[in-house]
Amino acid sequence: MLKKVKGSLTIFFSLVMVSVMTLIFTMAECIRLYELHDFASEYTDMAVESAFSEYNPFLWKNYRILALDLGYGSDSVGTSILEQKIMDYCRYNSNIDYGFNYARLMPNQCVTNSYCLLTDKSGQGVVMLGTKAAKDGMATQIIDTVQNNINDVNAIEKVSVVEKAKNGKDALDDAKTKLNNDKQAAADDDDPNTNPEDYPSPGEVEDNPLDAFGVVKEAISNGILSTVIEADTIPDNRIDINNLPSHRSLIEGTNEMIATDSIANKALFIDYLLTTYSYYGMDKQHGGMTYELEYLISGKETDAQCLAAVVEELLLIRESANYATILLNPSLLAQAAAIAEVLAGFTMNPVIIEAVKYAIVAAWAYIESTLDIRLLLSGGKVALVKGLDEWTSDVWHLSSFLNVNSKAKESSLGIGYKEYLIGFLAAKSIDTLGIRACDVMETALHSTDDYKNTRCDNLVYAADIEMGFYGNEMFLSIFKQDNTIDGYELKKVKSISY
């Protein structure tokens, strides 16, 4: 049989227990508040990183650029959709039915404090991401190789070969006109001492280099590409250049970014462009422009115009280099002087004969240069400055080299079309390359069905996201009085960048 025992609790002990329990619950609430901060940071990190994992796959696959479309395929601009996405992820993670929110902490606000777009500061976002992509797979010595190619191509002194050829031909034509006028005057006067037959006749050669030069110039005036490649192989893609990032008013990000324009970074960015963007002779794997690197150099509206602009740059360099080769080789210069004597010897004027000689040198260098460009565009290599063993054309028979299939001799120690592109890209400012790179990517995006509304000035690659959370008090609620707090407001900031 159980015996009942009477018990009692003193008022003093009750007061002590209340104090002890208050201390215990206060400590528990402090620990919980500390955990709330951890939960808030964890939810913020997961939500922001989940949202930024939805980067544009087309840009990553084709251009190795990680960027998030703020419009998510629509024409919406700004960060509203991104903020809603982050809120949805955060609510999911903090929902006890799906996540692990044992602390009862709920998100109530998402604000993008600042963000960077690809087009900010003339495409510096693309430059930064491209440089980073190049660093991931590029050794330091490769930077030196790129820089050496830049120096080699840009070190050639430009010579106005066309002007020299024109000046010499004009001098010869003027001398012939004067000779004809003098003969006519001798035939018309009554002076028996003047006879038209007394005047020397101009000499002729079987294949006049200046005539061959005239044929090439006339062909080039109708389209330079037709003189170096088969015209029907050039695509007829045309872009609306006025609607591209480089020409329209752009949305700007709100975050300050520092542009880096060091020589090493520019070399890395050029290497990124060479390995990622298409150019003549390279198989294109996606839509948009066919000659993307040529567009970065020229900024023209069509593929044909872009390639033609680069070919003109190539021609200027090659004709200058070939002009120097002739002047530095006595045997080549002697051939030009011999033809000048034949063509202009009737003037007996050394100044005119000298002008014609340099006109022939210029015409010869020009036609040799067209052979060089045909070789370069076919994938061959040409020495920067040729020697006699690498020289192709014959000044006595220049017309035989006008056919588009005639090419210069291959040089194993020369450089190819790609190396010349490096020099041309290096001559452009980093701002020009950056914003035109945005043009290229946006054109490619618009060639697809999924990304027709995507704009490069709505592609974010870095942001500072602020999340707000609300949590109720738990352990102190049993002691709740009018002066106690109703809950906790927490804010966490997550900085993220690709």
Which pair of tokens denotes residue 490?
A: 């927490």
Kindly state whether residues 173 and 222 are assigned to the same domain: yes
* Same domain? 336 vs 467: no
In the numeric block, the tokens 């294949």 are attached to 207
> Per residue in 221-230, pLDDT tens?
777 887 888 7
Q: Residue 493 has what pLDDT?
A: 93
pLDDT of amino acid 163: 83
Beta strands of 50-156 (E only): which ranges?
68-69, 105-117
Statement: the pTM of the whole predicted model exceeds 0.75 = yes
Q: What is the DSSP letter of 195?
A: -
Mean pLDDT calculated for residue range 137-160: 58
Both 225 and 98 in one domain: the answer is: no
Q: For the chain, give the longest Cα–Cα distance.
A: 172
Q: Are residues 193 and 321 in the same domain?
A: yes
Residue at 60 is within a domain = yes
Number of domains in the chain: 2
Q: Say if residue 118's pLDDT is above 60.
A: yes
163, 315, 385, 399 from 319: Cα distances, Å = 12, 6, 10, 17
483 vs 420, residue with greater confidence: 420
The predicted pLDDT at position 156 comes to 63
Any idea which of 56-60, 68-72, 287-291 has the lowest mean pLDDT?
Answer: 287-291
Q: Does residue 111 lie in a domain region?
A: yes
pLDDT (tens digit per residue) in 21-46:
777 777 777 777 778 888 888 889 99
Residues found in the chain: 498
What pLDDT score was predicted for residue 298? 94
Is the pLDDT reported for residue 466 higher than 90?
Answer: yes
Would you say residue 347 lies in a domain? Answer: yes
78 shares a domain with 163:
no
Q: Please report, as a single letter, which amino acid is at residue 197.
A: E
- Answer yes or no: do 75 and 182 share one domain: no
Residue 245 lies in a domain: no
CA distance 421 to 290: 15
Is 48 contained in some domain?
Answer: yes
pLDDT band at 192 (very low <50, low <70, confident <90, very high): low
When mean pLDDT is compared across 13-17, 93-97, 192-196, 342-346, the lowest value belongs to 192-196
345 in Cβ contact with 191 (< 8 Å): no
Q: Which domain holds residue 64?
A: 17-121+451-497
Do 457 and 390 have their domain in common?
no
Question: Would you state the pLDDT for residue 139?
Answer: 45
Residues 152, 114: one domain?
no
Query: Looking at the domain assignment, is residue 5 inside a domain?
Result: no
For residue 6, being part of any structural domain is answered with no
Domain presence at residue 251: no
Name which of 367, 328, 389, 376 is nearest 161 in CA terms: 367
Same-domain check for residues 230 and 115: no
In the predicted model, is pLDDT for residue 484 greater than 60?
no
Query: What average pLDDT does the segment 198-220 reach?
Result: 82
> What per-residue confidence (pLDDT) applies to 19?
72
Q: Are residues 235 and 321 in the same domain?
A: yes
pLDDT for 294 beyond 70: yes
Residue 217's alpha-carbon distances to 100, 303, 339, 355, in angstroms, are: 77, 22, 20, 19
* pLDDT, tens digit, 9 for 90 and up, residues 220-274: 777 788 788 877 777 778 888 999 999 999 988 888 766 666 777 888 888 899 8
- Please answer whether residues 465 and 48 qualify as being in contact, where contact means their C-beta atoms are separated by less than 8 angstroms: yes
CA angle 385, 389, 395 (to 5 degrees): 85
- Average pLDDT on 349-359 reads 90
Mean pLDDT of the chain: 83
Same domain, yes or no: 377 and 460 = no
Residues 145 and 54 in one domain: no
CA 445 to chain centre: 16
